[in-house]
Structure 1
Amino acid sequence: MCADDGFCVQPAIIKRCEETFPEDLFRSQADRLKYKDYVIVGSVFDNRIGLFVQWEKAIQLAYSQVNSNAYGNGIDGQRGIGVILCDAATDEEPFDYGDGITELAGAAEATANWLANDMKVPAIVGVDRSGSTQAAFQAIQSQQVVMVSPSSTSPTLTGLDPASVTDEAPGFLWRTAPPDSFQSKAIAKDMLSVGNGRTTAVTNVAALYLDDAYSVALYEAFLEAFLDNGGTEVVPFAFSEETLAEAVRNAGEANVQEVLVISSDLGQLRSFLNLAADRADYDDKTLFFTEAAATAEVLQGTSDEATNPALLPKIRATRPEPRTRADATFDNFVGAYTDKFPDGGNAEDIFTANAFDAAWVVALGVAWAHYQENEITGLGVARGLRKLSNKDGMTANLGSSSGWSTAQQQFRSGRAININGASGSLDFSLEDEETGADIQIWVVDDVSFEAVKLYTIFEEELSN
């Protein structure tokens, strides 16, 4: 890193974190000097998963905009933002990191520790899965590094920050996706209702859930909502990667109407569909998935493992309501992503816009710290994140040059703004610093997603 006098010291870059944006951020002494005024942040994603690589590209898009001449060359025309792109995959083929880490949560924890303690980043965009996010955040919580996840939705994460947060003492774990406390109620309500493609209410369910932070918390929230609203039985089957086939068999043999499958692992969801398709006892059962299934990697498969389409017509599933191209902010994001990464996958895939927003949220936190704090630290960035959802403030559309300019003008004067993201309005509550979203029920239509029902964020609807 570079000191105020311009003298730069070669950082000890670990193999997991050799990629950066800009790509020459640490390439040579001259490059390090060129970027000496940049604020360096981190990102942590499992690069084995094509969808997560898209999210990483969305982050690069956001910071390419921040740093561009069209957007005023960074913060106050002086400071760009660079990002260290760390891989949280396990240490196995095709990756060879030499650290022997065999658990995803361990890989996320190790990279977050390095970013916080060695590179002294004020903020990290990530992590991808709730369990990995929890492990990484708890490992660096004492360092006061902001972490903004685009996709970790476990309700458990809400409790990792102090119960009472303020402008002076904010929380450090944020996310641009809503917690599953509302999604669980939407699942229960949909199962117990008739209409929107359901001809019979479901009152007994088998629940297959991965034994991790995301899946366990969502299962427990669903169980309570389902039984409290008229459901009669939930037969649970917790599973690991090694016991998935056994859980599929047990759920198939259970005397239930529907099977709920909860996992954020795309490969496990794909494997479930392939295993269940070979069993006759799934012929009389319907299936319910959560938001992770809303991707072609699950419904179509990959070059390594295709998905058997036999059970696709049986699927109902939830996801936070996605924006459409009719929304100008989302449309601008999709267009910019496609232009920058023409072979970079589908910008409309789940949580890709959330990753873009997470990067911009961090940029805005950094900008607040630049204008209003003595230095750019995690605490200053976190204080800035509490200045993004003022309904009486000026609106700043994320990804637009005018929105970036508006935000900086307001921050110079110490005023809060009201952001509008590509993924949604991102109305962060000042009580728990969570955002919300309406929940969409979707079915599979020719390996695409057809929305059949929308549950609003107002939870009163789910208690009727």
Structure 2
Amino acid sequence: MRKSKFNVAIALSVAALTAFTTACQDTTVPTDGGGETSTEASSGGEGGLKLGALAPSTGDLSSIGQNMPVAAQLAVDTINMCGGVNDADVTLIQEDSQTDPTAGGAAMTKLAEVDKVAGVVGSFASSVSSSAVDVAVRNGVMQISPGSTSPVFTERAAAGDFDGYWARTAPPDSYQAPALAVLAKKQGFDKVSTVVINNDYGAGFEQEFVKAFEKLGGTIVNKDNPVRYDPKAATLDSEAAAAFAGEPDAVLGVLYAETGSILLKSAYEQGLSEDVTVLLTDGVYSPDFTQQVGTTEDGKSIIAGSLGTVPGADGQALADFETLWVEETGGEITAFVPHSWDAAIAMMLAAEKADVNTGEGIRDNLRAVTNEPGEEVSDPCEAIAMIREGKEINYQGASGNVEFDDNGDLAGSYDVWQVNEDASLEVIDTVSPVDAL
């Protein structure tokens, strides 16, 4: 890395970002997507590159998703401060997916057909991205998700369904599930039961975990009767009872925060979770989740000792991005924030390389700016300047080495996190899926 900070860091300020956010909040446009609103940057010039951000500001994944559009906006602000894309400022239009496939599909339709964006950062939930991606492909919009990890997207990309208009900066669950299986075996768990949310994310993760855990010699207690819960169910008592039946050493919960907390609290209240470790995933990696689950009579987290995995961030640009994030937001980086930043940066670099502000241009040049053999560069302003000079680059992101394969996937590292007695989350290790692949 040639610079200790991004070139633009000194030019941005909390006051400027706050003023920008306030201006955005004053410009809301109702859509036909069930009460959603969009937020458009006032600095975007007519004819300049338009991007969208589709993230769960509300709904089951809002505790994680709220910072995703903030990261995308910061990326846009950064590039605009160093000249924009193709000689004009970039505009970001934000939509709330509501963690709902129907709302997310409607929001993508608005972004693609009304706002005419060239690319979209999002969505987070795999079920929402499944609903949105066909709309994006039909309209020639490049979609890069920072967190939709279902293996379904790999399968559909390989089948040619997306025509190249799909990628993701978080690795698929075909990597994360084996990593969690490796962790389970390292913890000495021989018998594991599963309970998952009944959608692409839950079912896909479960399938990959079962395959990997059995390969490592483990037993899935409820393999013949998997527990998949309806996120709209009135109660989850029976699902909790079924998940913890059969005396498992651990229970894998592939959950969303709001509904998952209800299920685990029910298991505790039924006296089922004592001496059983809960294994969790990225979908609930949030302090809000542990607080929602609740505490015991002596004030300790109900799920203290639970272990989970989450796509880690270890890119060359991470340290500088962390500094910028803290300066501009005043908070710590949360899960999938670096992945959201990288998704937005990669699309803007690709558009500059293409010399056109279109989804097709981004699609056709995405790998040219992120993959070998170009010169490695992690500073986004330096990267876009090099593209303007006609140089070949290999962008190194904050989340990691953003090296997309033919299906839009990339490999990644995984952090191991645990729930402490005070309900806080702590990263305690890393784990690789290699032993289970």
TM-score (norm 2): 0.83
1:237 aligns to 2:221 (yes or no): no
- Select the residue among 371, 377, 380 that pairs with 1:396: 377
Whole-Å Cα distance in 2 between the matches of residues 63 and 17 of structure 1?
Answer: 22
Whole-Å Cα distance in 1 between the matches of residues 89 and 73 of structure 2?
Answer: 12
1:208 aligns to 2:195 (yes or no): yes
> Are the equivalent residues in 2 in contact too, given 1:21–1:60 (CA < 8 A)?
no
Whole-Å Cα distance in 1 between the matches of residues 316 and 203 of structure 2?
Answer: 37
Cα distance change of structure 1 residues 424 and 307 upon mapping to structure 2, 3 Å threshold:
farther
Whole-Å Cα distance in 2 between the matches of residues 162 and 281 of structure 1?
Answer: 42
> Are the equivalent residues in 1 in contact too, given 2:346–2:370 (CA < 8 A)?
no
Whole-Å Cα distance in 2 between the matches of residues 35 and 216 of structure 1?
Answer: 43
1:145 aligns to 2:158 (yes or no): no
Match of 2:329 in 1: 341
Match of 2:361 in 1: 380
1:442 aligns to 2:428 (yes or no): no
Match of 1:20 in 2: 39
Match of 2:282 in 1: 291
Match of 2:174 in 1: 181
- Residue 17 (structure 1) shift: 5.8
> Are the equivalent residues in 2 in contact too, given 1:298–1:307 (CA < 8 A)?
no
1:87 aligns to 2:134 (yes or no): no
Cα distance change of structure 1 residues 307 and 64 upon mapping to structure 2, 3 Å threshold:
farther
- Residue 283 (structure 1) shift: 0.8
1:332 aligns to 2:320 (yes or no): yes
Match of 2:402 in 1: 426
- Residue 333 (structure 1) shift: 1.4
Cα distance change of structure 1 residues 382 and 150 upon mapping to structure 2, 3 Å threshold:
same
> Are the equivalent residues in 2 in contact too, given 1:20–1:82 (CA < 8 A)?
no
Whole-Å Cα distance in 2 between the matches of residues 85 and 389 of structure 1?
Answer: 25
> Are the equivalent residues in 2 in contact too, given 1:389–1:416 (CA < 8 A)?
no
Whole-Å Cα distance in 2 between the matches of residues 116 and 307 of structure 1?
Answer: 44
- Residue 270 (structure 1) shift: 2.4
Alignment of 1:77-156 (within 5 A): 78-89=87-98, 104-156=100-152
Match of 1:277 in 2: 268
Whole-Å Cα distance in 2 between the matches of residues 269 and 346 of structure 1?
Answer: 24
> Are the equivalent residues in 1 in contact too, given 2:136–2:142 (CA < 8 A)?
no
TM-score (norm 1): 0.79
- Residue 448 (structure 1) shift: 2.6
1:300 aligns to 2:288 (yes or no): no
- Select the residue among 142, 164, 170 that pairs with 1:171: 164
Whole-Å Cα distance in 2 between the matches of residues 189 and 162 of structure 1?
Answer: 27
Structure 2: gaps spanning 5 or more residues: 1-27
Match of 2:306 in 1: 315
Whole-Å Cα distance in 1 between the matches of residues 352 and 404 of structure 2?
Answer: 18
- Residue 158 (structure 1) shift: 1.4
Equivalent AA in structure 2 for residue 189 of structure 1: V
State the secondary structure of the residue aligned to 2:195: strand
Superposed CA deviations along residues 258-305 of structure 1, whole A, max 9, x for unmatched, are: 111002x2212322332233232211211100122322121234xxx8
Whole-Å Cα distance in 1 between the matches of residues 245 and 126 of structure 2?
Answer: 30
Cα distance change of structure 1 residues 17 and 85 upon mapping to structure 2, 3 Å threshold:
farther
1:417 aligns to 2:365 (yes or no): no
Cα distance change of structure 1 residues 450 and 52 upon mapping to structure 2, 3 Å threshold:
closer
Cα distance change of structure 1 residues 117 and 408 upon mapping to structure 2, 3 Å threshold:
same
- Select the residue among 74, 77, 82 that pairs with 1:64: 77
Superposed CA deviations along residues 184-235 of structure 1, whole A, max 9, x for unmatched, are: 1122222223xxxx3xx22222100011011101101111112232123331
C-alpha RMSD of the superposition: 2.6
- Select the residue among 348, 356, 372 that pairs with 2:341: 356
Match of 1:45 in 2: 55
> Are the equivalent residues in 2 in contact too, given 1:273–1:307 (CA < 8 A)?
no
- Select the residue among 412, 427, 431 that pairs with 1:454: 431
Whole-Å Cα distance in 2 between the matches of residues 162 and 328 of structure 1?
Answer: 30
Cα distance change of structure 1 residues 135 and 170 upon mapping to structure 2, 3 Å threshold:
closer
1:259 aligns to 2:259 (yes or no): no
Q: Which has the higher contact order (CA 8 A, sep 6+)?
A: 2
Match of 1:4 in 2: none
> Are the equivalent residues in 1 in contact too, given 2:371–2:404 (CA < 8 A)?
no
- Residue 356 (structure 1) shift: 1.0
Whole-Å Cα distance in 2 between the matches of residues 450 and 312 of structure 1?
Answer: 16
Work out the number of aligned pairs and report it: 396
Equivalent AA in structure 2 for residue 406 of structure 1: M
- Residue 162 (structure 1) shift: 4.7
Cα distance change of structure 1 residues 310 and 118 upon mapping to structure 2, 3 Å threshold:
closer
1:158 aligns to 2:154 (yes or no): yes
Identity %: 23
Whole-Å Cα distance in 2 between the matches of residues 119 and 299 of structure 1?
Answer: 38
> Are the equivalent residues in 1 in contact too, given 2:54–2:104 (CA < 8 A)?
yes
Cα distance change of structure 1 residues 84 and 408 upon mapping to structure 2, 3 Å threshold:
same
